[in-house]
Amino acid sequence: MTAVAHEVPWADTGTTDQVPPGPELDEVLWQAWEAMELPEGFHAEIVEGFIEVSPTGCYAHSQIANKLRRAADRYLGDGPYAGHQDVNVIHGRKVWIPDVIIALEDAEAKDVIEHGVGVKASAVEVAVEVVSPGHNSISRDRVRKRRDYARAGIPVYVLVDDHDLRGTVTVFTSPVPDRADYAAEHRVPYGTDIAIPEGPAKGFVIGEAITGSPRGDG
């Protein structure tokens, strides 16, 4: 379920040539987002001119995210980077809450936004979304967030998608902010290993130990 608090005056066609809302609307949405008091179990994001209120993920969703973060932490070891969950990622007046991010374990002061409400998108090396069921949730992660993350220049976007065939993992790289898209993507089915190709998590493998077997396997 997603509650849409505001709609921008252009259609979501699934293409990459959308024009994001202007600064005045951004500021109105930001102020509304800051003032929201949500019941436990819900969170709000600002995605392409919408305030979207969603419930926290189901058990299977959170299980994949937790496994991925823990595996990433083991891979990153004692270095300066770590996996994080439930962190507001801010770009201008946009707000996202990826299921997992890889960023510095201790954020630098310049990367922390206004009273610690979140971290700048420029501090995020990898953003991960585990797709939730429902048409709007699927569209948000596959299309709208991909565009927003590319606009923000997040270097790597990982999409873990239970609802694509029998399950797929796609790694998007080489963001092109002006096009609101990534220039490169690599997509594999569940059960096939895929590695992060760049950045502090380069070589980190997402495989069956994290996603589980292809959907439909016993």
Q: In a 3-state reduction of DSSP, which class is residue 112?
A: strand
What does pLDDT average to in each consecutive run of 10 residues of the chain (218 residues)? Answer: 35 43 73 75 76 70 92 97 94 92 88 81 97 84 95 98 94 98 97 97 97 81
> Residue 116, class by beta-carbon neighbours within 10 Å (0-12 exposed, 13-18 middle, 19+ buried)?
exposed
For the record, the structure tokens of 196 come out as: 């992060």
Contacts of 42 (CB under 8 A, 6+ apart): 53, 54, 55, 56
Alpha carbons 137 and 140: distance in angstroms, whole number: 5
Which pLDDT does position 20 carry in this prediction?
55
pLDDT of residue 12: 36
Distances (CA, A) of 196 to 125, 146, 181: 11, 17, 18
* Rounded Cα gap, residues 3 and 196, in angstroms: 33
| Dist CA 35 CA 44 (whole Å) | 11
Global pTM value:
0.82
Domains, the chain, with CATH or none: 58-211 (3.90.1570.10)
What pLDDT sits at residue 109? 78
* Cross-strand bridge partners of residue 128: 100, 158
